Structure 1
Amino acid sequence: MTTSRPVARDDEPGGATSRDARPTGFAARVSLGRAFAPVPSEFLLILSTALLLTGFGLVMVLSATMADSVAKGESPFEVVMKQAAFALIGIPLMLIASRLPVTFWKRIAWPALIVTTAFQLLVFVPGLGVVNDGNRNWIQVAGFQMQPSEFLKLSLALWLGYVLYRKRSLLTSWSHVFIPVVPVGGLVIGLVAVGSHDLGTGLILMAILLGCLFFSGVKLRMFLVPLILVVVAAAYFAITSPNRMARIMSSLTHFDSTACYNAPVGDCYQAVHGVFGLAGGGIFGLGLGNSREKYGWLPAKANDYIFAILGEELGLIGCLVVLALFALFAVGAFHIIRKTDDPFIRIVSGGIVVWVVGQAIVNIGVVLRLFPVLGVPLPFMSQGGTSLLSVLLACGALLSFARTLPMRTPVPAAAPIPRGARPARR
């Protein structure tokens, strides 16, 4: 005799609806909990400064280029819309990269360096490579110009971090410190500095290499040899190029020359007009959009000399705000370096902060006439889609590393003593 088993209705406990709904709701809560889990303060600091500098840069690119665009019969938003397109691509990529595990960055270190090096070789292909001011460091595809060397900065930092991380127990030996760091690093830097004649980007790549070696913990006597090699290589690249030597001699001979300021021509023309822009802004600036130097006086107003337009329109206060944002970015990155236990994270973060902050210092120093004109953009702010995209991807890597830092656990408050109760004697 068979007995029929009652079938549970969907609205009863244990029915199909409740049986399916409970796991689904629980999984959804777990997924949302992971998405909105608290993050370290370093994550918020780096993310906020990156977004603020990017927004600040879009405003300044619009202000610096709208006059030229209108003079050409184009829309005043012609240039800034292209820059905004790269920002709209780069910011989501930064947030996606911030969710990637550290193992991902370790696995792509070698492939990323190989791909970006092959990408850099495209500048030598006839019909693709573009020469600008003596530098063959751009390619033009479908009407867009891209600078492949910008992506080499991030891939070199990742590769150096991975190689030095794998050799962390062998860094007391000269051979393990220099091989393969010096040959491969020299090849990458040589493609840019010698092949493309871009000394500014080559110097930034050299700084990344030195920064990664420094944060890997190699001994000082081993660090001094690569430092000397970098200085010698930079001097050789400068001496062998008449264009670079002209820039360097211009910054040295005309630094205190009143003749250069009275009649700025030749190599000192743009440098002097950059100083004029900063001086004309004063403390509070002429107001956003009211720059005078952007009306044909400052050729590189939207890229290498955008800090001069910033100082002219927003004054000393605007310049200090931008410097403070870069300082906060550096503080967040150095906190990651100090708190992490992973040598790979420490080395790559060191290379990225040397790249971003060091390039900002060089760019601002050029505008202030402290350095010769090197042709490096101001990170986050200068016109240039590939530059903005590479910096945002680097920030994504830093945000990914920040997620691995331990969270601070709040100290539990002491329980209140009930009224009338006597505290225990010690």
Structure 2
Amino acid sequence: MTTTTPPTRPAADGPDDAATSGFAARVSLGRVFAPVSSEFLLVASTALLLTGFGLMMVLSATMASAMAAGQSPFEVVMKQAIFAVIGIPLMFIASRLPVAFWKRIAWPALIVATCFQMLVFVPGLGVINDGNQNWIQIGGLQAQPSEFLKLALALWLGYVLFRKQTLLGSWTHVFIPVVPVGGLVIGLVAVGSEDLGTGMILMAILLGCLFFSGVKLRIFIVPLIVVVVSAVFFAVTNSNRMARIMSSFVNFDSMDCYNAAVGDCYQAVHGVWALANGGLFGLGLGNSREKYGWLPARSNDYIFAILGEELGLVGCAVVLLLFTVFAIAAFQIIRKTRDPFIRIVTGGIIVWIVGQALVNIGVVLRLLPVLGVPLPFMSQGGTSLLSVLFACGVLLSFARTIPVGPASTAIAAESLSRRR
């Protein structure tokens, strides 16, 4: 009788094979927990801090009016928090997408965003707020489509100018299709919806993308002049818009400034008073006086005034510092990248987010005329928060392309492949 022994499981040839299998596991985990650049960390952390800061200030600014209306003091902030809970995961999902994806969707994104913006003109969907027909309402939910146009325009401009990199010395290749398509999008908002503030931000994005694309100064000056002339024209041809702009320069001694029913400068007065009340350290979180019905736009366009009243100059300085760090991190992405598409789109997003923040704060300080643009990350408004967080996701996606430095895993992988 012969006996057969069952086949034995092959053993590892030696310690090198065991090390190889362990290294493979480490490499596969490394793809998930890959090191990221300091720019990635700074953009992500400032976005999260500003969003959290904004939720805190929205709660403080709205709890009194919500309770006066018989609602929960958390009614408004919970709605804003829902958009934050949606937007933050979206930001990190967007950060995992490759740069090729953003190039591929540039044209479709602009077309879809433009069609979405045109819904404001559909009867039953379009809603007029403060003289601007720039909102849609579906059920109990309102949205501002122009917020998504900002990112879509930046991506589209980045892609078009990236494809024309070697031709940007020619007027024709710079202006076509940038000027006609960009003009259509901006006109749809500034003229069609009568929202000059958002229209000017879109104009700034266009100029920012042209600047960071490396267009020669003699070519850049022409669209700059066109934008300035267009902004002035849109302002002076609308009486409601002109009244809001001039309210920033009215003498506060005018009695109309103290009458909410007739005074266009009423809100500007109370915004300045809120900042004056705050002083250096503020009245304390939740202790604002202007939020008790005195400052109408306390949770959106003038939330910086409530911030200054409750947390003082110190609180305002912290917010300005966070925006500064955000801008520095984004500029570092521009400096370190070799991809013109990344440079142009990042420049457009910086101009949008940081520029809009400066405009909003300038309005509250009466340094700029009233334009009705929210403070990014912080003002009440779900559409604005979603679009800004998604734009940060695009920046994080770009930041992942920046080399972190010599990675030990890469060196180990190379040495292992040589041995094998």
| Fold match (TM-score > 0.5) | yes
TM superposition shift of 1:8: 3.0
Instruction: State the alpha-carbon separation in 2 of the partners of residues 28 and 70 from structure 1.
Output: 56
TM superposition shift of 1:271: 0.4
- 1:75-114 to 2 correspondence within 5 Å? 75-114=72-111
2:175 alignment partner AA: F
Contact kept? 1:285, 1:311, Cα under 8 Å: yes
Residues 77 and 28 of structure 1: is their aligned pair in 2 closer, same or farther, counting only changes over 3 Å? farther
**RMSD of the TM alignment (CA)?**
2.1
Q: Tell me the residue number matched to 1:415.
A: none
Contact kept? 2:110, 2:152, Cα under 8 Å: yes
1:8 alignment partner AA: T
Structure 1, unmatched stretches of 5+, are 15-20, 411-426
TM superposition shift of 1:315: 0.4
Q: Tell me the residue number matched to 1:32.
A: 29
Q: Tell me the residue number matched to 1:213.
A: 210
Instruction: State the alpha-carbon separation in 2 of the partners of residues 261 and 334 from structure 1.
Output: 44
TM superposition shift of 1:115: 0.5
- 1:196-275 to 2 correspondence within 5 Å? 196-254=193-251, 257-259=252-254, 263=258, 265=260, 266-275=263-272
Residues 261 and 280 of structure 1: is their aligned pair in 2 closer, same or farther, counting only changes over 3 Å? farther
Residue 71 of structure 2: which of 54, 69, 74 is its match? Answer: 74
Matched, 1:304 2:301: yes
TM superposition shift of 1:264: 5.5
Matched, 1:8 2:5: no
Q: Tell me the residue number matched to 1:370.
A: 367
Larger CA Rg, structure 1 vs 2: 1
Q: Tell me the residue number matched to 1:329.
A: 326
SS in 2 for 1:172: coil
SS in 1 for 2:254: helix
Instruction: State the alpha-carbon separation in 2 of the partners of residues 364 and 291 from structure 1.
Output: 18
Contact kept? 1:260, 1:272, Cα under 8 Å: no
For each residue in 1:127-182, what CA deviation from the matched residue of structure 2 results, as whole angstroms up to 9, or x when unmatched? Answer: 11110111000111121110000000000000000000000000000000000000
Contact kept? 1:42, 1:333, Cα under 8 Å: yes
Instruction: State the alpha-carbon separation in 2 of the partners of residues 120 and 269 from structure 1.
Output: 31
Instruction: State the alpha-carbon separation in 1 of the partners of residues 57 and 25 from structure 2.
Output: 42
Residue 350 of structure 1: which of 322, 341, 347 is its match? Answer: 347
Contact kept? 1:302, 1:382, Cα under 8 Å: yes
TM superposition shift of 1:39: 0.8
Instruction: State the alpha-carbon separation in 2 of the partners of residues 44 and 287 from structure 1.
Output: 30
SS in 2 for 1:127: coil
Q: Which moved more, 1:171-180 or 1:261-270?
A: 261-270
- TM-score, structure 1 as length reference: 0.90
For each residue in 1:174-227, what CA deviation from the matched residue of structure 2 results, as whole angstroms up to 9, or x when unmatched? Answer: 000000000000000011001100000000000000000000000000000000
TM superposition shift of 1:409: 4.4
Contact kept? 2:257, 2:266, Cα under 8 Å: no
SS in 2 for 1:258: coil
TM superposition shift of 1:31: 3.1
- TM-score, structure 2 as length reference: 0.91
Instruction: State the alpha-carbon separation in 2 of the partners of residues 89 and 384 from structure 1.
Output: 13
Instruction: State the alpha-carbon separation in 1 of the partners of residues 3 and 178 from structure 2.
Output: 78
Instruction: State the alpha-carbon separation in 2 of the partners of residues 23 and 114 from structure 1.
Output: 50
Matched, 1:129 2:120: no
1:400 alignment partner AA: S
2:253 alignment partner AA: T
1:108 alignment partner AA: I
Aligned residues: 400
1:183 alignment partner AA: P
Instruction: State the alpha-carbon separation in 1 of the partners of residues 3 and 165 from structure 2.
Output: 71
Structure 2, unmatched stretches of 5+, are 13-17, 408-420
Q: Tell me the residue number matched to 2:149.
A: 152
